[in-house]
Structure 1
Amino acid sequence: MQLVFATNNLNKLKEVQSLIPQHIKLLSLKDIGCFEDVPETQNTIEGNAIQKAEYIKEHYGYDCFADDTGLEVTVLHNEPGVFSARYAGAQRDANDNMNLLLANLKEKDNRQAQFKTVVALHLNGKLETFTGICKGEITTEKHGEKGFGYDPIFKAEGYTKTFAEISLEEKNKIGHRGKAVKLLVTYLKEIN
């Protein structure tokens, strides 16, 4: 079986590849000759994941899955949410995004947050979605060099280290994307 993972994010690709069984050949957008920006114009995380999966199926004909992830901060009414990648502007800079979030939380005591990933699978003419959530909190400063995005300022519940301080294996066990992809993998095993 082969599936396209509709992402240009090499960090996401690496994270997901380590979770997908060997018998499933994972293709990237580059592998199928897709070099344009896949649209993400919906106002929900789920909507964006579905839009990306449908775009690849419609324009390239491949069975595929796409994900969208957002960081939802309770005290900021679930911001940045669907705008997580562009929180500080169209340049999509992780440091700018983290700096803006830390500034917006400067006077706040409640630092509860959750990462939410929705994976949309377009397979055999059917669309399925899988959601993974990881609850935690936003730290007061950046820690760690691993990971990407908001990882240096997110600490999962029950952990003393940020996502940027733990191994990829550990992050995949407890993280939002890992949880959503595990549900996807379980579904793929059930239908085969």
Structure 2
Amino acid sequence: MTNQTLVIASSNPGKVREFEGLLNELALTVKAQPDGLEVEETGSTFSANARIKALAVAADTGEWALADDSGLSVDALDGAPGVHSARYAPSDPERIARLLKALEFEDDRRARFCAALCVAAPDGTVLLEVEGQCKGWITRSPRGDQGFGYDPIFEVEGTLKTFAEMSLQEKKSHGHRGRAFTLLEPRLQQLLSQQ
């Protein structure tokens, strides 16, 4: 086992690609979790779900694992879809359609993306945990073709762009995962230097 390998605890190819881009300057090998490994997200918070996934994938693979749980909280929907963001509907287009329908006659479209990151070791140790947020609002229709999930309908505060209209670098500096990663990166670098 080498601690310089970091398994991304996700079966979502878009999320794995995004993390590969965010982690490309660190001295480690990044790989996706094994096919067929499913971890049930039973936590009531983003942080709890990230911890559950990181610990399970680290134990299964014998490698360090990085998990995130992130989601969209919409003010007018009392924080929904929240921790159920990925399960709000079966596919990205259906999730977007359901959310736009729920907000069809709503003027208050304020929302925020939250991302909780957790790095765990195979021995059950939680090495790092951080959270990042990004404020914005839900657009009336999708814009852009980058990213995944709710990216085409979330306009980031102060940018006039949805996540789906941003480059990876823009998303890294403005996005919830990028903000969480900015907190995680120096601490992860320090851990790697101690190996």
TM-score normalised by structure 2 residue count: 0.89
Deviates more, 1:146-155 or 1:175-184: 175-184
> What is the CA-CA distance between 1:83 and the residue it aligns to?
0.5
Counterpart residue number, 2:21: 18
Counterpart residue number, 1:9: 12
Counterpart residue number, 1:154: 154
Deviates more, 1:155-164 or 1:21-30: 21-30
Give, in whole Å, the separation in 2 of the partners of 1:27 and 1:138.
32
Query: What does the per-residue CA deviation read over 1:120-171, in whole Å, with 9 as the maximum and x for residues that have no partner?
Result: 1114753121111111000111111111100110000001121111212211
Q: Runs of 4 or more off by more than 4 Å in structure 1?
A: none
Deviates more, 1:40-49 or 1:113-122: 40-49
Instruction: Answer yes or no: is the 8 Å Cα contact 1:67–1:118 preserved in 2.
Output: yes
TM-score normalised by structure 1 residue count: 0.91
Give, in whole Å, the separation in 1 of the partners of 2:37 and 2:66.
17
Query: What does the per-residue CA deviation read over 1:60-115, in whole Å, with 9 as the maximum and x for residues that have no partner?
Result: 32211111111000111110000101112xx2x11111111111111211111000
**Does residue 177 of the first structure (1) align with residue 181 of the second (2)?**
no
Counterpart residue number, 1:28: 32
Deviates more, 1:94-103 or 1:56-65: 56-65
Counterpart residue number, 2:79: 78
RMSD of aligned residue pairs (Cα, Å): 1.5
What are structure 2's unaligned runs of at least 5 residues?
A: none
- Aligned AA (2:6): L
What are structure 1's unaligned runs of at least 5 residues?
A: none
**For 1:78-157, what aligned pairs fall within 5 Å after superposition?**
78-88=79-89, 91=90, 93-123=91-121, 126-127=125-126, 128-157=128-157
> What is the CA-CA distance between 1:189 and the residue it aligns to?
2.0
Deviates more, 1:120-129 or 1:100-109: 120-129
> What is the CA-CA distance between 1:51 and the residue it aligns to?
0.6
Instruction: Answer yes or no: is the 8 Å Cα contact 1:151–1:162 preserved in 2.
Output: yes
Percent identical among aligned pairs is: 39
